[in-house]
Amino acid sequence: NSKLRHVEKDVLIPQIMRDRAKELCSEKVQAFTKCCQETGLLMVVKCRQENSALKDCLVGYYSDPSFYEECKTEYLKQREEYRATGIKKRRQKFTSNV
């Protein structure tokens, strides 16, 4: 059964999308993080370029219908495994500083 509940469509699948987008945009995440660490309180002004590049990368994934379908398929697979085994599988994180 691949019918999705409201919480799955609006919370759980978008969470997978955010996690995966951060992994796929990891270079930009790292550049923004490094800039913020180096500039401290001036990060709002000094890290605009890095922030903009990161935002563009993430929004590109968030607004891609095929990326949503990919993440939905991943979620449904996880849900099916959980229903079959009763064991919730944790998502592996590829980036250490996010």
pLDDT digits (tens, 9 = 90+) for 22-77: 999 999 999 999 999 998 888 888 999 999 999 999 999 999 999 999 999 999 99
Q: Is 62 helix (H, G, I), strand (E, B) or coil?
A: helix
Structural element, H or E, at residue 54 = helix 48-62
Q: Does residue 83 or residue 91 have the better pLDDT? A: 83
Q: Is 95 a residue whose pLDDT tops 60?
A: no
Q: Is the pTM of this model over 0.85?
A: no
Residues 35 and 45: their CA atoms lie apart, in Å, by: 11
Q: According to the model, what pLDDT value does residue 1 have? A: 58
Residues 26 and 2: their CA atoms lie apart, in Å, by: 31
Which own/partner pairs from 8-15 qualify as long-range (CB within 8 Å, at least 24 positions apart)? 8/75, 8/79, 12/75, 13/68, 13/71, 13/72, 13/75
